Amino acid sequence: MFCAVMNLPQSPTRFQNYNKRLLNATRVVCESTMQKAAKEAIVEDNSDNNIAVAVDGTWQKRRYTSHNGVVIVTSMDTGKVIDIDVLSKYCACKNKKNHEKSCKSNFRGSSGMMGACNIFKHSLTFHNARYTKYLGYGDSKAFDEITIENIYGDKFQVEKSECISHVMKRMRSRLRRLKEKMKGQVVCDGKRLSGKNHLTDSQIDKIQNYHGLAIRRNLNSVHAKRQAIWAIFMHKLSTDDNTQHGFCPIGEDS
């Protein structure tokens, strides 16, 4: 009462007790909800325990230099979260004797690998399921680690799928890198690469979008996908005097 009258904050120790209760209750609800979501994913996959998942993470800092991160596993069939893992490489322990009991650090290795491996290891005990199809985002170090560990044995190899959005981003970043590398240089027509009607930012964005469409429209054919991607390049080279539309589709979709 005295603290309330004097507008003083509560003791941190008192608040921490409630904080622990909330944490425990939240953890129970979280785990039960994720287990239910995992069962739905198995049913959606015709009761097959080998399910497809998307793995993504968020870090405290960018560029894979963070000491703390959170990894999320989502079912590709239902879109629901089925697993999470909070990882830290930071140790703030001052007492070495109590280090093992109280240390918050639970990961060793590069920040790029922080994530998927631990979650894949406990999928069988937590969900009685195997994450055999892996849709990863960005860096491939996590998948390389999963492959080396051979978590499910030779009989159940983990397959990696590429995110189309990230493939599109790579196309954009490579073109921008080329544009920056050749800045000020003159190409065969006597003009600069980044000049008007050449590799401008707007043209790079268009090529990126066309690249994504070429992949999405030809998911079942590598040959058709390759031809559609080359059609972008040839179409950009085309002029009224020298047409280059051999790879372009025929009809209204052209």
Nearest to 160 by CA among 217, 76, 249, 66: 76
User: Is residue 69 helix, strand or coil?
Assistant: strand
Residue 40: the pLDDT is 92
State the alpha helices, DSSP H only, in the chain: 2-5, 12-44, 99-102, 116-121, 123-127, 141-149, 164-181, 201-216, 222-237
φ, ψ for residue 83, nearest 5 deg: -165, 150
Q: What is the pLDDT along the chain (254 residues), one digit of tens a residue?
A: 667 777 777 777 777 788 888 989 999 999 999 999 999 999 988 888 888 898 887 777 765 677 788 888 999 889 899 999 888 877 777 766 666 666 777 766 665 555 667 788 888 888 899 998 888 765 567 777 788 888 888 888 888 877 787 788 888 888 888 888 888 777 777 777 777 777 888 888 888 998 888 888 888 888 888 888 888 888 877 777 777 777 777 766 65
Residue in 165, 163, 193 with CA at minimum distance from that of residue 179 = 193
Question: DSSP class of residue 158?
Answer: P
> Hey, what are 159's tokens?
């397959």
pLDDT at 109: 64
> Tokens 């930012």 map to which residue?
201
In degrees rounded to 5, what are phi and psi of residue 198?
A: -120, -145
The CA distance from 132 to 105, in Å, is 28
Please give the pLDDT value at position 114. 58
Which residue do the tokens 């998942």 mark? 53
**Contact yes or no for 117/149 (Cβ under 8 A):** yes
**What is d(CA 130, CA 159) in angstroms, rounded to the nearest whole number?**
12
- pTM of the full structure: 0.64
Q: Is 102 left (phi over 0), alpha (psi -120 to 50) or beta?
A: alpha
Predicted confidence (pLDDT) per residue in 69-118, tens digit: 888 899 988 989 999 988 887 777 776 666 666 677 776 666 555 566 77
Residue 228 CB coordination number (10 Å): 21
